[in-house]
Structure formats: structure tokens, C-alpha cells
Amino acid sequence: MAYFSITPSLISSLVLFFLLFVAPSSASNFVDVKVICAQARDPILCSSVLNSKVVGAKGAYLITFSQYTINVARVKATNTVNLINIMIAKSGSDPKAKEHYKICLTHFNKDEGAPNDIDYIEELLKKGDYFGVGTTASAIITDVDDCIIGEGP
């Protein structure tokens, strides 16, 4: 299970961005990376990701961060699926581990799991449904947390 500590943590931090700033705000606001990341689960990771977007600047418009965060989360979710599949293959003689990874994979299922929710967040953001963005972001955090602790869907 330790293999998932980086990717789900990053996804959770990125999703937390939506909960804290996009859901309650107008997408035209200019925001500071320090302000956003001070409230994240992992402020250092958050700063690292968002500062990579605003090279040389203190902040950016909320919609810019939002779209960038969606793109990063989508890549990380895809990488997580690939990693889970590798772990399933490597857990051959450990049925408990294999079952855990298979359950975990259901939370990253393209049709119902985190990747689908990331696509839906993008739709909601374009519509200006910031409450829906926050609600769907919560679902992604639940998927990540359930994967880590082994909860079934």
C-alpha cells in the first residue's frame, strides 16, 4: 500500500484546491499560491504543483489554476491506474494484496471513479457550477481515501 502514498496525496491536494477556492469563489478572482496552499492537506506539495504553473509570478487567476489542476489531476489519476495494475500483477502469490489493489482499482475506474469525476469537474467549472465542483471534488477525495484504506465501492 505504500506505493500509493505519493499519487493519491497529490490528487487529494489538488482536489482540495477545488473545495477551498473554486467552489465558494468566482472563477475570475486573482489568487496567491501561498494563500491557496496554506489550507491544503500538504502545503509543500500544493506549492510545488501550483508554483510550476505560475513561473516567476506570485499567483494567477483562479480559472487558470483550476484548469491546470484538472489537467494535473487527470494525469495523476491515469498514472495511479497504471501503478495499480502493476501492483496487481506483482502481488501474484499474495491474495490479500491482490484483492486490495483490485478494490482500489474500482475507485479509479474510468466510468465511475476518480477519472470520471475529474472530467465532470471540468464540465461543472465551464458551467460556473462551483458548488457542484466542490461536491464532486469531495467524491474524488473519498475515492482516494477508500483506495488507501481498502474500502470497497
pLDDT band, very low/low/confident/very high, at 33 (cuts 50, 70, 90):
confident
- Helix then strand then coil, in percent of the chain rounded to 5, is 75, 5, 25
pTM above 0.85, yes or no: no
CATH fold, domain 2-148, is Butyryl-CoA Dehydrogenase, subunit A; domain 3 (1.20.140)
- Domain range list for the chain: 2-148
β 30-32/59-61 pair status: antiparallel
Distance CA 20, CA 41 (A): 11
Q: Is the pLDDT higher at 30 or at 107? A: 107
Q: Is the pLDDT of residue 120 over 90?
A: yes
Backbone angles phi, psi at 108, to 5 degrees: -120, 20
Provide the Cα torsion 10, 59, 118, 151; round to 10°: 30
